[in-house]
């Protein structure tokens, strides 16, 4: 029998993941908006987030959170980090025991600094928790372009089963047992993408972007290892793969925010005109706090935090350029 996968959150990535998984499983997508659910069911589109890209007719949507959660053999949470706790808490009373819960969110809870897998453990203790990361530009995947993700869970048996279910066509899913590393990488790459976007907005070149991606990866790895992740994870899809895409693609929300900041625009104006969430904006201050707690040097992440708090992008870039260059493996 096919598994019943319930996906909570009908944004661009939640909808795309649901459409992909529907090849191998029965998938139901929860939407906050009943009108959007009706469009997905009737027109097989999510025009709000994915334009005219077609969704498979077998994908069903509903605005009834309790009903969708009740039917889940696997629960996938695809809401932004700031709504993760509230959504999961509402679904929790309806989720059957031992159902795996997978996070697609690449953010941190602002008030607590917790990762989404930690929230799953808190709200649904005893449920196997996992995260899906990697370079996942929704429009490209839904258009049928080849892509790869990484699924991280501590239980290797469940991991292998879900890896097969989540993979489809030219969308490949690799496995990793380093949940912390994959999750931290997915959070921090958004912050580095804002930095790269700022440099692009100020007219920096490809050499600058390459240097920032490389030094940004070093910051991600140092902080990720200090938080309990494995260094090798940051060289994989959740780390380097996602970082390169998010820092380079015109489809990247976080890079877009940085680019607009680099052009002199105000953060509130940029965010106000965006339909989707740029997780890096909310995660940066939490990342800086984690770096302070662990004593890890993260100059690029720290400069992004200053800019998001109202500082000058030009001053931030000059500050990074003036950092004394020591051995490549040294902090900073």
In a 3-state reduction of DSSP, which class is residue 261? helix
Cross-strand partners of 28:
6, 60
Tell me which fold the domain 4-177 belongs to. Rossmann fold (3.40.50)
User: How many other CB atoms are found less than 10 A from the CB of residue 3?
Assistant: 16
Angle between helix axes 116-123 and 81-91 (nearest 10 degrees) is 20
Tell me which fold the domain 180-321 belongs to. 1.10.1040
Of 328, 217, 283, 332, the residue nearest 225 (C-alpha): 217
- pLDDT for 331: 60
pLDDT-above-70 percentage for the chain: 97
pLDDT tens string 9-39 = 999 999 999 999 999 999 999 999 999 999 9
Domain boundaries, the chain: 4-177, 180-321
pLDDT tens string 77-124 = 999 999 999 999 999 999 999 999 999 999 999 999 999 999 999 999
Residue 168 is classified by DSSP as B
Of 245, 242, 272, 243, the residue nearest 257 (C-alpha): 272
What is the set of active-site residues? 189
- pLDDT for 87: 98
**How far is the C-alpha of 47 from the C-alpha of 53, rounded, in Å?**
8
pLDDT tens string 153-199 = 999 999 999 999 999 889 999 999 999 999 999 999 999 999 999 99
pLDDT score of 326 more than 80 = no
Strand 60-62 vs strand 26-30: parallel, antiparallel, or unpaired? parallel
pLDDT tens string 188-222 = 999 999 999 999 999 999 999 999 999 999 999 99
pLDDT score of 329 more than 70 = no
């Amino acid at each position: 029998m096919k598994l019943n996968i319930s996906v909570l959150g009908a944004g661009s990535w939640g909808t795309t993941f649901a459409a992909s998984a529907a090849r191998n499983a029965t998938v139901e997508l929860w939407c906050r908006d009943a009108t959007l659910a009706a469009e997905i069911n009737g027109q097989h589109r999510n025009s709000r987030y994915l334009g005219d890209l077609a969704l498979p007719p077998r994908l069903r949507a509903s605005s009834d959170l309790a009903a969708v959660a009740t039917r889940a053999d696997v629960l996938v949470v695809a809401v932004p980090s700031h709504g993760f706790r509230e959504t999961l808490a509402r679904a929790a009373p309806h989720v059957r025991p031992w159902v795996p819960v997978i996070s697609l969110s690449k953010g941190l809870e602002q008030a607590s600094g917790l990762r989404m897998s930690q929230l799953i453990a808190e709200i649904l203790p005893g449920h196997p928790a996992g995260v899906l990361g990697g370079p996942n530009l929704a429009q490209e995947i839904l258009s049928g372009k080849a892509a790869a993700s990484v699924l991280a869970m501590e239980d290797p048996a469940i991991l292998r089963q879900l890896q097969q279910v989540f993979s489809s066509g030219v969308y490949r899913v690799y496995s990793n047992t380093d949940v912390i590393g994959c999750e931290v990488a997915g959070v921090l790459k958004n912050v580095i993408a804002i930095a790269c976007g700022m440099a692009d907005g100020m007219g920096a070149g490809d050499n600058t972007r390459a240097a920032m991606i490389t030094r940004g990866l070093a910051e991600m790895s140092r902080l990720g290892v200090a938080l309990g992740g494995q260094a090798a994870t940051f060289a994989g899809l959740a780390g380097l793969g996602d970082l390169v895409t998010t820092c380079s693609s015109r489809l990247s929300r976080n890079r877009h925010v940085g680019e607009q900041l680099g052009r002199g625009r105000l953060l509130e104006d940029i965010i106000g005109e965006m339909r989707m969430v740029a997780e890096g904006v909310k995660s940066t201050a939490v990342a800086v706090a984690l770096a302070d707690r662990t004593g890890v040097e993260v100059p690029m992440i720290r400069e992004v935090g200053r800019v998001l708090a109202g500082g000058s992008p030009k001053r931030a870039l000059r500050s990074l350029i003036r950092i004394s260059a020591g051995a490549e493996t040294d902090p900073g």
